[in-house]
């Protein structure tokens, strides 16, 4: 399926959950592999080195770091995504909010804008209780960004 998507010009984003070892055939050609630190260690056989995934054919690795933000690792280098400071009450939906906003905004905003929106969405999700009910809308994310990250 990844090969078909690639042939059609689709940007391929994968967040393997639960984390488990993956064959190179699946990783090869992915544009973005989105991982938390635990998944990074699983997919790198304990080394925690995201460049090992680039060597296996992944275009870029997006590493989510919770309250410490995120980072983008590519062949060009490493870019940090600063976290937004919010009053967190529940982190249950943070990863899903991050991934959803990243995938939804990537086509129009490019990777830098998408990572900023994803970081904002993840932060906003932690200010609410629950999972699905905590997910912010794109309008809420954009308003949060317009306010400079203030809730």
The position carrying tokens 């790198």 is 44
Burial class (CB in 10 A: 0-12, 13-18, 19+), 1: exposed
pLDDT at 3: 73
- pLDDT score for 85: 94
Same domain, yes or no: 77 and 99 = no
Q: Give the pLDDT score at 57.
A: 94
- The pLDDT of residue 1 is 66
User: Is pLDDT larger for residue 10 or for residue 73?
Assistant: 73
What is the pLDDT confidence band of residue 130, given thresholds at 50, 70 and 90?
very high
> Among 82, 105, 120, where does a domain finish?
82
Residues annotated as catalytic are 96
Question: Residues with Cβ < 8 Å from 68, sequence gap 6 or more?
Answer: 83
Strands 70-74 and 78-81: antiparallel
CA distance 26 to 136: 31
d(CA 145, CA 143): 5
Q: Which domain holds residue 46?
A: 1-82
Model confidence at 149, in pLDDT bands (50, 70, 90)?
confident
Q: How many structural domains are present in the chain?
A: 2
State the pTM of this model. 0.92
């Amino acid at each position: 399926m990844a090969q078909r998507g690639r042939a059609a010009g689709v940007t391929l984003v994968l967040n393997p959950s639960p984390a488990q070892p993956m064959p190179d055939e699946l990783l090869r050609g992915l544009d973005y592999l989105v991982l938390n630190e635990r998944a990074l260690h699983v997919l790198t056989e304990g080394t925690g080195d995201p460049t090992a995934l680039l060597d296996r054919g992944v275009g870029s690795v997006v590493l989510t770091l919770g309250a410490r933000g995120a980072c983008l690792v590519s062949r060009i280098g490493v870019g940090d995504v600063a976290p937004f400071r919010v009053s967190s009450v529940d982190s249950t939906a943070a990863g899903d909010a991050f991934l959803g906003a990243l995938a939804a905004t990537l086509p129009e905003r490019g990777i830098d804008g998408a990572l900023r929106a994803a970081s904002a969405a993840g932060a906003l999700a932690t200010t609410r209780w629950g999972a699905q009910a905590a997910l912010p809308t794109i309008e809420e994310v954009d308003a949060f960004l317009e306010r400079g990250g203030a809730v």
